[in-house]
Chain A
């Protein structure tokens, strides 16, 4: 196990609703990245948080937003949910600037939008 935890494990929402997913990073890690993994595909980078600020963003619309807290945990918020948002949402923690590039993933949150 990596020490990265995510909640909830599963979630069902209806189109147009909003959702908040949570991630606790591994002890000693200061960076959290979020990825979306559609069924049968590789993870796609959403954004990354470092020192409580967004530190890079993939090709996702503004209705995907996030936060990082002083304890390095993070939230992913998605507004106006669409059916195509159904996916496994993964967070990964790492230690940027400390010489290690390894990213450790949590188990993910399975979001289903109906």
Chain B
């Protein structure tokens, strides 16, 4: 079936470096994607989203890139900080009428920031 997956289960970076977390999706009909951050013992926290009519979207220290040709999504975190340590999930919308209310999540990438 359709799924969202991640290339790297664990990513370790030095504080201050940039981080890149990757995600592959298989449902070419998906038109909305979200990145979530989940810290231990907490629910997923919305980071940034992107619709399929865009290829790049920037937030505060984060950038999401979407390559529809190869069905690839990435999250870039600039100047990674210890507080960025968490598990990151990408999710795609597969709800009716592109409502964005039913999400399929990938398995997650753990980001570890070394001081």
Contacts and interface: CB of A to CB of B under 8 A. Distances in A.
A42 interface: yes
Interface of A: 2, 4, 31, 33, 35, 40-45, 48, 50, 55-56, 58, 90, 92, 94, 96-97, 101-108
Given A90-B43, A90-B44, A101 B105 contact: no
A57 to B, nearest CB: 9
B103 A41 contact: no
Interface in B56-115: 89, 91, 93, 95-96, 99-108
Contact of A56 (B34, B42, B96): B96
User: Which of B89, B91, B100 has most A Cβ within 10 Å?
Assistant: B100
Interface size range on B against A: 20 to 34
B9 to A, nearest CB: 9
8 contacts: A2-B43, A31-B101, A43-B89, A56-B96, A90-B43, A96-B99, A107-B41, A107-B43
Given A101-B49, A106-B43, A42 B106 contact: yes
A48 B13 CA distance: 37
Given A48-B101, A90-B43, A103 B34 contact: yes
Given A42-B107, A90-B44, A106-B43, A101 B96 contact: no
A41 B107 contact: yes
